[in-house]
Amino acid sequence: MPEFKKPGPRPANEALTRPFWEAAQQHRFVVPQCVACDDFFWPPRAACPSCLREAWKWAEVSGRARLYSFTIVRQPANPAFLEGVPYVYALVDLEEGIRMVSNVVDCLLDDLQNEMSLVAMFEEMGDGWTLVKFRPARRQAR
Ligand SMILES: [Zn+2]
């Protein structure tokens, strides 16, 4: 009997976020940056949240970040994520000053610490989508 697998969720506003997804497929990490006040912001939206101007561009960021907070998910709310448990649901602070939700991968769960240095990486989902995730910036001596 074929196994039922629920498809993963898709971007809610794909027209607005398409440049982000296209860049991720090319392993480039871009976020909105205001052309008036230079602030980076996340998530993408019509106007800069700092100055409310509607002029912004997609700007490539370094991928360097720190782990602000996290939880280990063992029972996902969305059944599409069952295969991946346990996984790390994380709030990540980019050095450009924005906080985003992502996953921390390639890290032993016991090694997770708030404020640890992370670096962005790209995970191909095999269905045309590439996600930006984070891994420890360097292996920690144990
Ligand atoms: Zn602005």
pLDDT for residue 1: 45
Distance from Cα 126 to the centre of ligand 1, integer Å? 36
Local structure of residue 60 (DSSP, 8 states): E
Cβ contact 27:20 at 8 Å:
no
In the chain, domain spans: 14-136
Distance from Cα 20 to the centre of ligand 1, integer Å? 19
Distance from Cα 90 to the centre of ligand 1, integer Å? 26
pLDDT for residue 49: 97
Distance from Cα 30 to the centre of ligand 1, integer Å? 17
Would strands 56-60 and 130-136 be described as parallel, antiparallel, or unpaired? unpaired
The b-or-e profile of 106-132 (16+ CB within 10 A means b, else e) is: ebeeeebeeebebebebeeeeeeebeb
Q: What is the pLDDT along the chain (142 residues), one digit of tens a residue?
A: 445 556 777 777 888 999 999 999 999 999 999 999 999 999 999 999 999 999 999 999 999 999 999 999 999 988 888 888 999 999 999 999 999 999 999 999 999 999 999 999 999 988 788 999 999 997 555 5
**Nearest to 38, CA basis, from 94, 99, 96, 92:** 96
Cβ contact 79:6 at 8 Å:
yes
